[in-house]
A and B are shown apart, each in its own frame.
Chain A
């Protein structure tokens, strides 16, 4: 069965729409550039096929690959590239999470990041909770150890008092910024490709 120009167009458009969906968070001009290039590929293959049948078009798209497989390849490469020049902890940490699934180094960096951010959030939580539970939140000494946070104060002594609020804020900010800077610096060792492109 031969396909009309309109059928052809619809099929290509739906392929490109799926591709666009799996491209994710790329900048719009890059998305347009990618779609234009892939459209050109399909059209030129179609022209070379002579009289275009449904089967031929299906074959062209099959050899090209599934949009869901190709889209993420762009994304993975762009994600690391963008995270490297970003200061957003969310973007950086997400990129590190992906990296952690690929290699032992990535996993190690992920663990450091997780510890650093947990510490930062812990500090901030101390500051935020102190006014609400003044008797239970603090920096505690006793039982041969030191800890910061929420506890029943029976056998321990609180040493910071209300100072825990500024200490928590500064400690939290320093932990989060230092962790972000460290992760960002480590990303230079992350591979550019999430998985094989062949």
Chain B
């Protein structure tokens, strides 16, 4: 079914959605690395259940930037599968950043949930 004009307008703007996800995705990637090093595809598999990733390829430029910012380090390693894998792990600065991002996000989520609750309840009833 093709949505009507008003329905189109009611849908969240694509740009807003991707901006929202972008911020979360960075934190989500850092969190997956908390317990140890992973390569790109492993990170993607950990995040598979989250609706954060639209195109898988976008995590690689993001990982590159995290490395440029010295939050993660990257190292190539040969694998049994025949092609080398690039493993990422958190640096000390990365661990500190992850923790403070996690705390700040958790606080925001609480506040947003409280703000949104009446509105969503109204919609249910």
Interface residues of A, Cβ cutoff 8 Å to B = 33-34, 36-41, 43-45, 47, 63-66, 69-70, 73-74, 77, 81, 192-193, 195-198
Number of B residues near A (Cβ < 8 Å) is 32
Which of chain A's residues has its CB closest to B59's CB? A197
Q: Assess whether A193 is in contact with B22, with CB atoms less than 8 Å apart.
A: yes
Interface-lining segment among B30-38, B77-85, B94-102, B106-114: B77-85
Among A47, A70, A77, A198, point to the contact of B22 (Cβ < 8 A). Answer: A198
13 contacts between A and B (CB under 8 A): A34-B64, A40-B86, A41-B56, A43-B83, A69-B57, A69-B58, A70-B55, A70-B60, A73-B62, A192-B65, A193-B65, A196-B19, A198-B25
Asked if B25 and A41 make an inter-chain contact with CB atoms under 8 angstroms apart, the answer reads: no
Distance A69 CA – B54 CA, assembled complex (angstroms)? 12
> Across the interface, do B61 and A74 meet the contact criterion of CB distance under 8 Å?
yes
Q: Which one, B58, B76, B84, B86, contacts A198 given CB within 8 A?
A: B58
Residues of B within 8 A of A47 (CB): 81
B contacts with A: majority SS: helix
Q: A65 near B65 (CB under 8 angstroms)? A: no
A198 touches B56 (CB 8 A): no
Chain B residues near A34 (CB, 8 Å)? 60, 64
Question: Contact: B41 with A45, CB < 8 Å?
Answer: yes
**CB-based contact A44/B41 at 8 Å:** yes
A73 engages B56 (CB within 8 Å): no
Interchain CB contact under 8 A, B65 and A38: no
Chain A residues within an 8 Å CB radius of B82:
43
Q: Tell me if B18 counts as interface (CB < 8 A to partner A).
A: yes
Give bound CA distance, A34 to B84, whole Å: 12
